[in-house]
Structure formats: structure tokens, C-alpha cells
Amino acid sequence: MLHPATELRYVNASIGYGVFATATIPAGTFVWITDDVDIVLQSNHVENLPALIRDDIRKFSYRNKDGSYVLPWDLARYVNHSCDANVRDLGSVGGIAVRDIHVDDEINSEYSTILADPFECHCQSVQCRKIISSQDILDHWECWDGQIKNVLHLVREVPQPILHCIKNDEYHKAIIKTIFGDQTITLPSHKDFL
């Protein structure tokens, strides 16, 4: 589920649509979380679908480490990549704003952790890596994990309008309890995607 202070906007012909903030979303806020309504599709199912359906699923979903596709049921599927993403993923549990996101800012995330095939990036960031591939994780996971660590203390201090919608299983609940200091398990790392 995506943070409610967001809306879909047309960006341009090459990018298509993107998701933009309609209110300030403070650093430390969960901007998306995996919920019980997201659609999980096994890879052999997707590969055998007609190309028209298969290509859209590949475009709008992300992949779990087991290869399954997760198709968000809401606008989260339209979040674009940036090489300087303002939301970093906590594994497949959710994504946290690593800096304040202001009204009209585009919400973006890091695609190298979820894509099988490299792609050419035109994100306009001064940090743009031009070609995005899963190998980027090797060079950047510590930096990306560090950005999350820097805002973890804020998670308890800012409004969390979507956290109560987190997927209802023991693992997801344990991660959230750990962030809030009520349990201690190892938090997901970007290097888990290697």
C-alpha cells in the first residue's frame, strides 16, 4: 500500500506516469508497505501468460528473492526509479522516506534490487548511473542501508498512516516490532538482494 498523500501524474512521453506527493512526507515515514491485497504471481505462471499481459506484469511488478512477482494493487506500481531515490526499501517489507519529501516531489525508489534485466536510466540525478543493473547493489548497498539507518530513529516520531496495513504475517510484524524497539531480529539489508 502506498502513502495516501500521493497522486498519479503524467510526466512526459518517455517516462510516462509517476507518483507525486500531495503533502509533506517527513523522513522516517513508511511510504509503501507490502499488504495482504498485493497480488503475488509465480514466475512460471507469468512466463506462460500472453505477451500483452506478461509484459505489463513485468513492467508494473517487483520480484521477490524467490523469483515470484508482486503486483501492487494501488498506485505503488507507478513509482519510478531514481539513482538518488527519496525512498529506500527495507527488503520486501516496505520503503521508508530517507529525507523529507515535499509537495510536488516525485516519489521514487531503487530498481536495481528488483529487476532481472539491466536498463538505461534517464533520471536526471547528478548521481545517475546511466545503466542500472543488479550488480549496482555490490557498490551501493552499504550507502543505501546507511540512509535507512540514519532515519530509523525518526520512524517512531513521525505519523505512520499506512503501517497498520502491513501484511499480516509473523515476519512482517517482527520487523516492525524491531524498528519500534519491542523485538530484536535482523533487519533486511539491500545486500540480501545479491
State how far the Cα of 17 lies from the Cα of 11, in Å rounded to an integer.
5
One of 123, 151, 175, 179 touching Zn ion (CB under 5 A): 123
Our CA dihedral for 82, 86, 90, 93, rounded to 10 degrees, sits at: -90
Which cell numbers in the block locate residue 3?
A: 502513502
Stretch that binds Zn ion, among 33-41, 108-116, 123-131, 148-156 (CB under 5 A): 123-131
Site for Zn ion in 3-62 (CB under 5 A): none
| Residue (12 or 184) nearer to Zn ion, CB | 12
- C-alpha closest to that of 79 among 11, 151, 168: 11
State how far the Cα of 109 lies from the Cα of 117, in Å rounded to an integer.
17
Our CA dihedral for 43, 49, 52, 55, rounded to 10 degrees, sits at: 10
In the complex, least distance from residue 21 CB atom to Zn ion, rounded to whole angstroms: 20
- Told to check if 98 binds Zn ion by CB under 5 A, we report no
Q: Is 139 helix (H, G, I), strand (E, B) or coil?
A: helix
Site string for Zn ion, 57-96 (x = CB under 5 A): --------------------------x-------------
In the complex, least distance from residue 111 CB atom to Zn ion, rounded to whole angstroms: 9
Q: How far is CA 150 from CA 27, 132, 143, 170, in A?
A: 10, 25, 10, 26
| Residue (120 or 182) nearer to Zn ion, CB | 120
**How many chain residues are in contact with Zn ion, going by CB under 5 A?**
4
One of 11, 128, 154, 174 touching Zn ion (CB under 5 A): 128
One of 87, 121, 175, 179 touching Zn ion (CB under 5 A): 121
Residue ranges that bind Zn ion, judged by CB under 5 A: 83, 121, 123, 128
